[in-house]
Amino acid sequence: MSYVDEVYAKVVAKNPAEPEFHQAVKEFLDTVRPVIEKHEEEYRKVALLERLTEPERQIRFRVPWVDDNGQVQVNTGYRVQFNSAIGPYKGGLRFHPSVYFGIIKFLGFEQIFKNSLTGLPIGGGKGGSDFDPKGKSDREVMAFCQSFMTELYRHIGKDTDVPAGDIGVGGREIGFLYGQYKRITGLYEGVLTGKGLTYGGSLARTEATGYGLMYFTQELLKINGIDVAGKTAVVSGAGNVAIYAIQKAEELGMKVLTCSDSTGWVYDPDGIDVAALKEIKEVNRARLTEYKKYRPNSEYHEGRGVWTIKADFAFPCATQNELNLDDAKTLVANGVKAVCEGANMPTTLDATNYLKENGVIFGPAKAANAGGVATSALEMSQNSERLSWTFEEVDAKLKQIMINIVHNIDAAAKEYGKAGDYAAGANIAGFKKVADAMMAQGIV
Ligand code: NDP
Ligand code: 2IT
């Protein structure tokens, strides 16, 4: 058996009942195979892949809190400190009922290579809880966040592990978490990113993942001879990533026809109204059923369905495995030209392969959504020098980082005879830097 296949079998055996983690590792190993084969003996001897797929540390803790009825609730908290070869652990916190180690480990594993692709000195980590912020009062969310941080604080720090947001964790949650960290430790330091602008946050961090996705897409399509202006797009999700992806897409001249949340989806033939979407989701924390009140010409449908709408580009921006093989077939039949991932691992493996085989330009999450964490690293830099950069400064840096990522993954794919396979290019380019650092640092 080849080294790659051996390691994959070990990962499955050692991490039972964690299908999302297996999927992320499989997608990675399958595409970096040519690099591994070139160095097989050297890597095998030092168990490089076994070390890469085994988190440096996995933390799991109890999070008790009191709800508005005086009832005690108990959730589970997680932090997986996956790899610190190229910098302090960095990655978001997800609050969603589906969270368990399999989700956090898939996210943490992908984060290692995404963070490497940014070109900035950040290692990979991820955390979260099975807590569901939906329908909770602000006080309940605060009580939960304070209890969560009361355990987490001892494991994190500005130079060791720097969490941020992800699904269910936005500005409100980061604020409560930061306040509690400061209260317990007495330290005013950049231990979290995505902070509010009055207490150390960076301008453009809120917009960064969605904007970055569009800067990435624009450059990727440019090298493929396609202009994004005047094209149509379908987007899934209606959260942080989706909202700012839609905003930037429209600024770049695309018409975005759809968005969705966990209960339904909207089709707006005139293009999604971002101001309405922000009011519904960011201000009122309401459902997409509200959208029709702002835009009578639009349609609201229960369930899922954004991938059935004909468009030039598709941008999955909600969650993992939300675009399956049937969706990929529908998109291809409708003539989609490109799929770029705003969410983490939103496309199933068979769907990804189908898209690639049918000539669809595929921008993988690790590369396409790296703008969020890249801007988090810029927030860390600003915190370290105790300065704040202007929006334009941060945005320009973000844009340049996304352009560099496109060229780096394109070059890596070509170097290994996989021109146009950007998923392979992203994994190879991300992996090489981490592998070099791990080889240099000895058996740790
Ligand atoms: P938000 O919580 O702001 O938004 C998530 C959106 O996806 C919501 O519209 C939500 O619907 C929908 N959604 C979540 N889970 C499901 C589900 N199981 N089924 C259907 N819809 C779902 O999160 P973000 O926008 O921050 O994150 C979206 C994706 O982008 C995630 O994959 C995340 O890991 C990834 N990402 C985020 C980054 C960031 O900086 N925030 C950076 C890079 C990647 P509802 O409102 O009904 O819950
Ligand atoms: O998936 C991701 O890259 C994020 N949720 C952002 C992580 C970060 O540290 O900004």
* pLDDT digits 0-9 by tens, 378-400: 999 999 999 999 999 999 999 99
167 Cβ inside 6 Å of ligand 1: yes
The tokens for 38 are: 């070139």
> Within a 10 A sphere around the Cβ of 415, how many other Cβ atoms?
15
- How many A from CA of 107 to the centre of ligand 1? 13
The CATH class of 55-189 is alpha beta
The tokens for 269 are: 């033939």
320 Cβ inside 6 Å of ligand 2: no
- Residues 44-48: what's their mean pLDDT? 98
- pLDDT tens, residue by residue, 350-373: 999 999 999 999 999 999 999 999
Distance CA 158, CA 221 (A): 37
- Residues 183-189: what's their mean pLDDT? 98
- pLDDT tens, residue by residue, 258-300: 999 999 999 999 999 999 999 999 999 999 999 999 999 999 9
- How many A from CA of 343 to the centre of ligand 1? 7
241 Cβ inside 6 Å of ligand 1: yes
- pLDDT tens, residue by residue, 292-332: 999 999 999 999 999 999 999 999 999 999 999 999 999 99
The pLDDT score that the predictor gives to residue 384 is 98
Is 126 an active-site residue? Answer: yes
Three-class DSSP labels, 221-283: HHHCCCCCCCCEEEEECCCHHHHHHHHHHHHCCCEEEEEECCCEEEECCCCCCHHHHHHHHHH
Mean pLDDT over each residue of the chain, to the nearest integer: 98
Distance CA 374, CA 353 (A): 28
pLDDT band at 10 (very low <50, low <70, confident <90, very high): very high
Ligand 1 atom having least distance to the Cα of 346: 32
Q: What percent of the chain shows pLDDT beyond 90?
A: 100
**Range list for CATH 3.40.50.720 in the chain:** 208-368
Q: Where are the alpha helices (DSSP H) in 159-239?
A: 171-185, 205-223
pLDDT band at 1 (very low <50, low <70, confident <90, very high): confident
The CATH class of 208-368 is alpha beta
**Range list for CATH 3.40.50.10860 in the chain:** 55-189
The pLDDT score that the predictor gives to residue 328 is 98
- Residues 200-216: what's their mean pLDDT? 98
Q: What percent of the chain shows pLDDT beyond 70?
A: 100
Best CA proximity match to 97, nearest among 342, 262, 316, 284: 262
The pLDDT score that the predictor gives to residue 319 is 98
